[in-house]
Amino acid sequence: MEANKEQQSIIEYYTKNHSEKRILLVEAPPGTGKTFTAVATAIEYTKKQLEINTKYNKKVLILTFSKNARAQIEKQLEQFSDNNINFQKFIEISNFHSFFQKYVWAYSKYLGLKEDLNILSPKQRKFMLSNEFIKIQAYDGDDKQYEWAESLLEGEFYPLTYKGNIKPSIKKLIPYKEELKDIIKNINKDGYIGFSDIGYYMNELLNKSELLLKTIQNKYNLIILDEYQDASDLQDKIVKKLIGKQNKAIFFADSKQMIYGWRGADSNRLLDLLKYYDLEIEQKSLKKSMRFKNHKDIENVLNLAREGKYNIYDFNSSSNIKYIKVEVNDKNLYSRQSKNQMYAALKYKIKNALPKYEDIQGKSVGILCRSNELVRYIKKSLREEFKITTYELNNNEEEHNIMGDLVKFFSKTDLNIDELTREMLKYIFAVIYDEKIGSIKKNKLNTIMYNNLKRARTPILKEFANLIEQAENTKEYKETLIKCIEIVKDNDLKVNYDMYSLLKRVLLCSSNKADNINNLFLQHQYLKAYKELKGIYVLNVHQSKGREFDYTYVIDRENIIKEDNLLYVALSRVKDKLVIFDWIMKK
């Protein structure tokens, strides 16, 4: 790929411009070649340093927010081959959590934590924290209370009412903020830590050890930050410490894609950078989009959405954009009856609008919704009613919960046959989309007994019953689970292949240690992020961030349009064809 003038001015900023400032802020909308520019800049900078000093041994650090973004950058780096230079030696690419984790794990004892830290799954963490939070009188177990309290080490993210006020259930907990923090810290000291806590300990580590901070600053003399509009206050503090007073830095950002305000992103983040670095910072921008050279209709819609001028009532289809009206009697999503009718009308419109099988071979379809409830409904409808296969993109929490359960399962040696039955069925249902197998229902697992399997008429349940009976005697739980998972794959069940491959990989590993299972889980997540998207995916708009789909379906635009940035993110996921659905009142 050849750089255009905008990209070239950034790529050569630290190599050909001798009056440059050490900090650069680049506004980079989707499709303008941000990833290419970031990697090319790192390479150009490295080449220049090696020309100046053949013994150059420092690195460029590229920090991203997600494993997916990290994977895309690593793919881009692989395309820059040079027989004389091993760029991987001089360019380090990481996402924030992985970068912080490396140092927190290495210095855990110095931080007052155990040496063997275990990252709790969301399910395990909620169980452990809730049991302690309940000791605080104002805590009543409300989900919003838990979400606010659980993330306190990462930042104070106040859930608001639709009027913009702090929710009453949170307000009554605020006086106990420090007590809640202490509860989390005490559990962390016992070796159980959550993803959201790792940044806190990285910041504490840099505050505590000036020597370590200087060592890191000396290791990376250019730091490139990706999607910086999404940085939280804590991440912003850490990044500024890493840059220090001497290092160079490039902040790539897009103010129109700031959609994580509920997780600490701040609409003033970029303005604050300009104030903080003052005379040391320069602004540039990437404006020219390369993604839509032959798709002017899509480019025009994106430009209007970016300017906040996109009109919901402009139903004009074009060669690459299709608008679909979903006629309903009522548009009240707060009424169960009305919502059921709206969803029912929508699912048929989506099914009929999907490309033909032969048209999407090797391509991706992203169906983007505003709410998780609608995501679940469409997934289920496509799979169960229309027999259309969908794939998982963002089920990290579910996978992590299963891995946490598996660690506990491996430690058990004397389960009775009813307990063993429930354990086996838990993992069997984890690798399928089906809500039931014969008479056994997924939502009733806690009450299932071995005799329920033994008496079942469905052949596959009888197979499970025979294997479980043998396992009770042999105590070979792991080997039995492997056999059960294989039976699932060979039967007429809707298999979740992402979960199947993860579970199979862990079960075939010789080590049952928690840290080893956690590493396998993280590797699986990264490999999934690295993989090219093919097939149909149903997800919410936030989950789609950083992804692109050949065909992008934007569902329930009327609700998304209330948030300009969210609408822009949804529309800008498209590569070739854009399909937009709206509920319209019947005349």
Q: How far apart are CA 372 and CA 185, in angstroms?
A: 31
Residues 245-286: pLDDT tens digits? 999 999 999 999 988 887 788 889 999 999 999 999 999 999
The helix/strand/coil state of 44 is helix
Cα dist from 413 to 395, 409, 424, 477, whole Å? 30, 9, 14, 8
Query: Average per-residue pLDDT in the chain?
Result: 91
Sign of CA dihedral 100, 103, 104, 106: positive
What are the structural domain ranges in the chain?
A: 5-103+209-285, 118-190, 296-392+532-585, 415-495
- CATH number for the domain running over 5-103+209-285: 3.40.50.300
Query: Tell me: the pLDDT tens digits for 518-557?
Result: 888 888 888 887 788 899 999 999 989 888 999 999 997 7
Whole-number Å distance between alpha carbons of 362 and 354: 15
Residues tagged in the binding site annotation for ATP: 28-35
Phi, psi torsion values for 28, nearest 5 degrees: -135, 95
The C-alpha atoms of residue 102 and residue 341 are separated, in whole angstroms, by 50
Instruction: Please determine, looking at this structure, whether the domain spanning 296-392+532-585 carries the CATH number 3.40.50.1820.
Output: no
- pLDDT tens per residue, range 156-199: 888 776 667 888 999 999 999 999 999 999 999 999 999 999 99
What DSSP letter does each residue of 235-251 carry, written as one string?
Answer: HHHHHHHHHTTT-EEEE
Binding residues: 28-35
With bands split at pLDDT 50, 70 and 90, how would you rate the model's confidence at 441? very high
Residue 162: the pLDDT is 65
Tokens of 66: 């997600």
Q: Rounded to an integer, what distance in angstroms lies between the CA atom of residue 32 and that of residue 257?
A: 14
Strands 321-328 and 59-64, by their bridges, are unpaired
Looking at residue 17, its pLDDT comes to 65
Spell out the alpha helix ranges (H) of 437-563: 450-454, 459-474, 477-489, 497-507, 514-530, 541-544, 557-560
Question: What's the whole-model pTM score?
Answer: 0.90
Count Cβ atoms within 10 A of the Cβ of residue 109 and give its class: 0-12 exposed, 13-18 middle, 19 or more buried.
exposed
What does the pLDDT look like over 81-135, one tens digit per residue? 777 888 889 999 999 999 999 999 999 999 999 988 889 999 999 999 999 999 9
514-534 as b/e: b if 16+ CB within 10 A:
beebbebbbebbbebbeeebe
Q: Could you count the other beta carbons within 10 Å of the beta carbon of residue 40?
A: 21
Give the span between the Cα atoms of 535 and 524, in whole angstroms.
19
User: Bridge partners of 92?
Assistant: 61
Measure the CA–CA gap between 24 and 445, rounded to whole angstroms. 55
pLDDT of residue 65: 86
